[in-house]
Chains A and B, each alone.
Chain A
Amino acid sequence: MRITRRWSAAAVASLALTSSAAFAQDSRSAAPPRGSLGIATGDPARRDVRVPDSVPNLSGTWVARSSNRTIMPLDGGPSPFLPWAATFFDERAAAEKAGTPFFDTNASCLPSGVPRVLAVPYPIDIVQTPDRTVISIEVMHSFRIIHMNDEPPPADYKPSYLGYSRGHWEGDTLVVTTTGLNAYTQVDEEGRPKSSSMKVTERIRKVAPDFLENTFTIDDPNTYSRPWTARSRYQWAPDYRLAEYICEENNRNKPDASGKLRHGQGGGYAERKHAGKNQAP
């Protein structure tokens, strides 16, 4: 069983234990009602009432059980790098090992982009409306709008961190295709590269009452010799509410001209305040 290198045996065992409990007995159905609405899980009450009952329900809050440090092919094989991509990856690894990592959008309060955000270890919140599935991601207060009506991107669409996403249902699986990604982010924190030609196809489904699985395929012939597939998982967290996440408050890690990060020299708001430079009351 190999998902990514970061999935330790202990994490997998604990996942097995909790989901085993969920299968063994549906303990949640007997749970006392929560909140003033008197709804046990809040799940159906968190999507638009105009969404037909026949549409699978993924809405609510989910806690990630994944890591974006290393996103690797599910089959355990090496990343199918093209030669330039292997060089890029090795150079980044060497710079990090030397304690002078290269610039990463994340270090400047910019999104990590798709597909990396698909495995960030932060909670997500899914809202379903008749036309959109909106996935909020706690980190960097990002949200992805998935267009459910197969609308094409507008003529003046500009490539972006999270791309342009379209979704449809195949049985109980939400299939999301994302293109229109910009050229500035990497696949994971270690620095597997990507190009703006990348297409990401996600297959999101409930695999147990309390577990959500996202199996995503990365297709980028400018970077990888073949499409490859990775996976992230989430656990139902009905009582969790996404917290405020403000990177800009302490925007510290800015790059120098060569792209190396200079730690602690960003002069974020909090730092400036402590230095008495802000005139906030």
Chain B
Amino acid sequence: MSHRKTCPARAIATAAVIALLFARSGFAQNGAFNTDEPGLRARDQAVLDGARAAIEADRKRPRIAGIWLVTAPATTIKTVDGKLPPMTAAAQKLYRKRVANRRAGNTEDPLEQCLPPGTPRSLWSGEPVLITQSPAKVTLFHQYRHLIRHVFLDGPRTVAEPDPIWEGHSSGWWDGDTLRIQTLGFNGEQWLDAAGLPQSPDMKVDEALRLLDANTLEDTVTVADARYYKEPWSTRVTFKRLPDDTFMPEEECSEKLLEFPLKPYAPSDGGTGHGSR
């Protein structure tokens, strides 16, 4: 009996607490927030002021931000000396097998299964790349398969990433007028080019990006992977600036993996209006 009496009181107290929380959190009755725009702006301004030094430092850096197109798209990689990278015996064995398989028409190139090319293979796609630049982060948005690489400018990593992934983990820093990007933590599955240059999970990729002039960007890529290469080797890729208003359409690799073509379903699009195909 007695606890029946306390129940309504408890419910009222709970409701009051919830109401108070909602009121304090700025919820209006319809579920929308009431915002305090001047207050939010003041807070943003304070945070901005705190970042002023980093922002001013970035203003003095080369503007690699923009939309870029590789000058010489390639499906096979050569070193800066125009040679094949210095493969170990294990790499050569794998490479010869992959080249022979492709000739025979049964390649297992992961790229053809819409898996991400990773660095450096993404650089040669031959499609525009939107590079955004901020004091804390540089991001490469590729039109090619809408690949994204967020590079936080935290400096080089000191520990290997525990989670091996297709694209590796990139970190960057400015070294004078050169943006250095280090990428490691690859899963070792992707090929470095269409011929089949291999990578192992030990691969480390160092990039040095610099503007040759306002409209020319150069990326010197150095690959170190002792399992497959006798010594670190470098290759180079050059980009030309495209107009800032260049449109980058969506590109869906996985459409080619569909067993049946996509069909519209809305009657106004010529579809049947039914859930089935």
Q: Which of A's residues lie within 8 Å of B, judged by CB? A: 1-3, 13, 15-17, 19-20, 23-24, 26, 29, 35-50, 53, 56-57, 59, 74, 84-85, 87-88, 91-92, 95, 102-103, 105, 108-111, 125, 127, 129, 131-132, 134, 136, 141-143, 145, 149, 151, 153-154, 157-158, 160-162, 171-172, 182-184, 191, 193-197, 205-209, 211, 213, 215, 222-223, 231, 241-242, 244, 246-249, 251, 254-255, 257-259, 269, 277-281
Contact = CB atoms under 8 A, between A and B. Distances in A.
A213 B33 contact: yes
A244 B113 CA distance: 17
Q: Which 7 A-B pairs have the closest CB atoms?
A: A259-B277, A183-B264, A91-B275, A207-B33, A195-B266, A222-B268, A45-B136
B222 to A, nearest CB: 21
Given A111-B252, A269-B113, A16 B276 contact: no
Interface stretch (B5-13, B43-51, B230-238): B43-51
Contacts of A193: 265-266
A183 B269 contact: yes
B262 interface: yes
A268 B41 CA distance: 48
Nearest to B44: A57
Given A49-B58, A141-B147, A258 B153 contact: no
Nearest to A186: B265
Given A2-B31, A37-B136, A244 B166 contact: yes
Given A45-B134, A129-B132, A36 B277 contact: no
Given A45-B136, A183-B271, A208 B35 contact: yes
B275 A13 contact: no
A207 B44 contact: no
Interface residues of B, number: 92
Nearest to B257: A251
Contact of A209 (B43, B58, B189, B276): B43
Contacts of B135: 37, 39, 45-46, 49
B246 to A, nearest CB: 10
B71 interface: no
Interface stretch (B17-25, B74-82, B176-184, B204-212): B17-25
B62 interface: no
Contact of B262 (A37, A105, A153): A105
Contacts of B18: 13, 16
Contact of A16 (B22, B58, B165, B252): B22
Given A19-B25, A42-B136, A108 B258 contact: yes
Given A23-B26, A74-B31, A257 B21 contact: no
A170 to B, nearest CB: 12
A29 B46 contact: yes
